[in-house]
Amino acid sequence: MRGWVFTGLKTGIKSTRYPEEEEKRPGVSPGLPIAGGNSLGLVDICPTNALLASNGQVALEYGRCVHCFRCARAAKSAPLDWSSGYEWADLSAKAGETAVEFGQNGFGRSLHVLVVDAGDCGACLSEIAQLNGPYYNMHRLGIFITPTPRFADVLLVVGPVTEHMREPLRKAYAAMPTPKRVVAIGVCALSGGVFVPSFASGSGVADVLPVDVVVPGCPPPPLAVLHGLLVAVGRKPPSRMFVSQRPVEERTPVL
């Protein structure tokens, strides 16, 4: 046992300084495409209709981008640029009055999170699991994962919400004490991602629960998930750059 203690000490501090400082280690985020440019040919390439033509420019609906990289590696026209960065979380369009303003801390210093897998492919869950590891170590921010909704402040949902998981998800939300927040993690939880339209899964969490914070990405890297949690409790400002330009109802069916 003594050996383990030394091993631990010898390893030194690996944790990121985020959110105090920006994380600069390479490979923490796959980035996202940057909207703009006039290579409208890309709009047809996008398999999930995340790229839109808007006033002669390429607009982006980040809630649909599944990281297929087709727009970045397109051979036909000028590819889209990719941003690095990971502060992708934003307040959901429906959050409205329940949203916590930045700086208004609704949950004190400690936050308990229930993670519900509503049909994800495993990548989002894996990224959330990384938050427990030494590199991201969300415990230092007072954030803990709890196995039961009874102690949970935040419901973290991944996956498009399959038919079979809809009821369990509802039950978990109902079992949480108030005040509570719902954070939808990943494109599937935002729009269903590549899995819609389908008989077996819905198009995101918003159809089932009132979502407060959305984190795009396929999967969103650990720091984006962390940003989402901090946004949910008002400890970080939301990134206003990813708000969907169009109301939900007008979305064209995918594929």
Partner 1 sequence: MSLEGALLVLFLAWCSLGALLAVLLSERRNPTALAWTGSLAAVTALCLGGRILLPGSEIQIPLWTLPGLGNLRLSLNPLGALFLCSAATVYLAASVFSAGYLGRYLGHYSLRSFSVLYHGLFASVVLVFVAGDVLSFLLIWEVMAILSFLLVNYEHDKAENTSAAWLMLAMSEAGTLAAAIALLILAKNAGSLDFSLLAAEGARLLPGMRWAVFLLSFFGFGVKAGLVPFSVWLPRAHPVAPANVSAILSGVILNLGIYGIVLVNMKFLPVTLLGPGMLALIVGSITALVGILYATAENDMKTMLAHSSIENMGIIVSGLGAGFVFLASNHPAFAAIAFVAAFYHMLNHSAYKALLFLGAGTVDSRAGTRNMDRLGGLIKAMPWTALSFLVGALAISALPPFNGFVSEWLTLQSLLRSVELHSAAIGSVFAFCGAILALTAGLAITCFVKAFAMSFLGMPRWKEAGRVFEGSRSMTTPMAGLAFLCLFLGITPTYVIPALDKALAPLTGASAVQALVPPFLRSSASAQLPAGFVSEFHDLGAQVGKGYLPGNGLVVLHRGAERNPVVFAMSTSYTFLVLVLLLAIVFLATRLWTTPSHTVVRKPRWDGGIARLLPIMTYSATGFSSPVSVIFDALLHPRRVEDARETVHEHFRTAIKRRPERAHILDWAIFRHLAAAADAIANLCARMHNGRLNAYVAYVLIALVGVLLLS
Partner 2 sequence: MMRLQDALEQVRRRWPGEMRGEFGSRKDALEYEMESPSAEVPELCGWLFKEAGYNFATLIPEERESGWELRYVFYGDRNQGVLHVLVRQPIDNRTFLSLIGHVHAADWNEREAEDLFGLSFEGHPRLGDFVLHDDHWPEAIAPMQRSVDGRQPLPHQQREGVWQPLLVLDAPGAFAMPIGPIYSGVAESALFLLETTGEDVVRAVPRLFYKYRGIEKIAEGRSVQDALLLAERANGTCAFAHGFAYCRAAEAICGAAVPDRARMLRLLLAELERLRHHAGAIREICESTSLAVATSQASIPEEELLSLSCSFAGHRYLFGLNTIGGLTRDFESAACLDVAAGAADILRRLDKLEEELRYSSSFLDRLEQVGMVSNDDARTFGLVGPIARASGVARDLRRLQPYSGYERMEFAVPCEQEGDGYARLRILFAEARQSLRIIQQAVARLPGGPVCQRNLEMKSGAALGWTEAPRGAAFHWLRVGQDGMVQRCRLASPSLNNWNGFHLAAEGFAFQDFPIIMASFGLSVAENDR
List residues near partner 1 by CB under 8 A. 148-150, 167-169, 171-172, 174-175, 177-178
Instruction: Give which of 188, 195, 184 is closest to 224, Cα–Cα.
Output: 184
Q: Is residue 124 at the binding interface for partner 2, with CB under 8 A as the rule? A: yes
Smallest separation, CB 237 to partner 2 (Å): 25
Q: Residue 150 binds which entry of partner 2, partner 1, none, with Cβ cut-offs from 5 to 8 Å by kind?
A: partner 1
Burial track 148-158 (b if 16+ CB lie within 10 A, e otherwise): ebeebbbbbbb
Edge-to-edge strand list for the sheet holding 181-185: 90-91, 213-215, 181-185, 154-158, 111-117, 143-145
Among residues 230, 223, 236, the alpha carbon closest in space to that of 15 is found at: 223
Q: How far is the CB of 55 from partner 2 (least distance, A)?
A: 28
* Beta carbon of residue 171, minimum distance to partner 1 (angstroms, whole number): 5
The option from partner 2, partner 1, none interacting with 34 (CB < 5 to 8 A, set by class) reads none
Rounded to a whole number of angstroms, the minimum distance from the CB of residue 163 to partner 2 is: 6
Nearest to partner 2 of 194, 213 (CB atom): 194
Q: Are 183 and 157 in contact (CB under 8 A)?
A: yes
Nearer to partner 2, 32 or 213 (CB): 32
With CB cut-offs between 5 and 8 Å by kind, which of partner 1, partner 2, none does residue 215 bind? Answer: none
User: What does 118 bind: partner 2, partner 1, none (CB cut-off 5 to 8 Å by kind)?
Assistant: partner 2
The option from partner 2, partner 1, none interacting with 26 (CB < 5 to 8 A, set by class) reads: partner 2
Backbone angles phi, psi at 144, to 5 degrees: -130, 150
Q: Minimum Å distance from CB 103 to partner 2?
A: 29
Considering only residues 49, 57, 93, 117, which one is a binding residue for partner 2 as defined by CB under 8 A?
Answer: 117
Contact 153, 130 (CB under 8 A): no
Q: Which residues contact 182 (CB under 8 A, 6 or more apart)?
A: 154, 155, 157, 173, 205, 209, 210, 211, 212, 213
The span of 33-41, 99-107, 198-206, 229-237 binding partner 2 (CB under 8 A) equals 198-206
Binding to partner 2 (CB under 8 A) within 89-108 occurs at none
Which partner in partner 2, partner 1, none is near 78 (CB below 5 to 8 A by kind)?
A: none
Residue 168 CB, nearest approach to partner 2 (Å): 5
Quick check: 114 and 146 in contact, CB under 8 A?
Answer: yes
